[in-house]
Amino acid sequence: MNTFTSQELIDLEEKYGAHNYHPIPVVLDKGKEAKVWDIEGKEYFDFLSAYSAVNQGHCHPRIVNKAKEQLEKLTLTSRAFYNSELGKYEQYVTQLFGFDKLLPMNSGAEAVETALKIARKWGYEVKQIPNDEAIIVVCDGNFHGRTTTIISFSNDEEARKNFNPYTKGFISVEYGNHDALAEVFATHGDKICGFLVEPIQGEAGVYVPPAGYLKACETLCKEHNVLFIADEIQTGIARTGKMLAIDYEEVEASMLILGKALSGGVYPVSAVLANDDVMNVIKPGQHGSTYGGNPLACAIAQEALQVVLDENLAEKAFELGNFFRDEMQKMVDEFALFKAIRGKGLLNALLINDTPESETAWNFCVALAKNGLLAKPTHGNIIRFAPPLVITKDQLIECIEIIRKTAQNFK
């Protein structure tokens, strides 16, 4: 039995932990499927899913059992040696997503950094860009992580301020505007090695680009011999109602970045996928990770992906997402507190009718927590709603009623 209270555990984090997060004041102790329980035993629906890392639900028994099995066998060898899981995992994932090669990493930010390095090396060695002149194009409002390189091309001042000097070699264009991308390509195309894009911008507030945008960008990349780099860390693995969000427009990425739900919420796993003409620029000693590709990660990730397929989670997310947005739109029409609902699949955002600087969205999330639903604001006045994909329709209806009840009583 836990002898600590929630407040005591919050106080411990405040005293001994760096203050780099601002959590909703609940202390979670247990999770199963779409629900979590705090230290006092109160039950909540999880509507964040660890930023979409828990698509398969909390503590999925198949994934947990696979982890236990591998934990008792072999966990880490480093890449100084072969291990019995990595090759099988690489074959499974590359065949599932249609690529020749996989480079295994751990965190999402590591995978993005890996893709950037591969793109630059490809730019110099294959596209023949003059040394030190390679450019990678990104989008305004992007979120790809918080490493020094990644924040260098972010326009989120909270993430950037006082972490300079910044890394050069990036141009940012308006998200959702393929004409802006075409203009940059026309001017700098011979020096551009990659275009890095989120199919839906998650942290920016679940911004869904106009239909046809991603396909138009893919066409531009092919015309200018530029790598189309799809960051599907948050949108991939069935979250948006397709296995990948780029599948909605049948985009074929030059590089695919995966993370979060690749782990089933059990252990950090990320990956970069590409074909031989891109991936083969990386030679021994040029990039790596002690933990990347470890047997525990490989066994977990392969099972996590198979669960998504076996339980038809992409199809489920598509259907439940449509239902959720339809029901939420009724609330948007009813309550002045709400401004709009948007999203795809079970990645959705509720816009609060107040300024980004206000605390209205935060206060509403605190009220939701008191009523048994956990969500978190992003960018001030936007609340992201992203439950585990294993949630049932009956549970989703219950959650919609919690949101409605909270709105009715919110002051």
Pairwise CA distance, residues 321 & 146, whole Å: 29
The residues that are catalytic are: 143, 231, 260
Query: In the structure encoding, which two tokens stand for residue 357, read together?
Result: 């600087």
160 Cβ contact list (under 8 Å, min separation 6): 151, 152, 154, 166
Contact, 243 vs 79, CB < 8 A?
Answer: no
Phi-psi region of 314 (alpha: psi -120 to 50; beta: other; left: phi over 0): alpha
Contact, 379 vs 401, CB < 8 A?
Answer: no
Contact, 93 vs 302, CB < 8 A?
Answer: yes
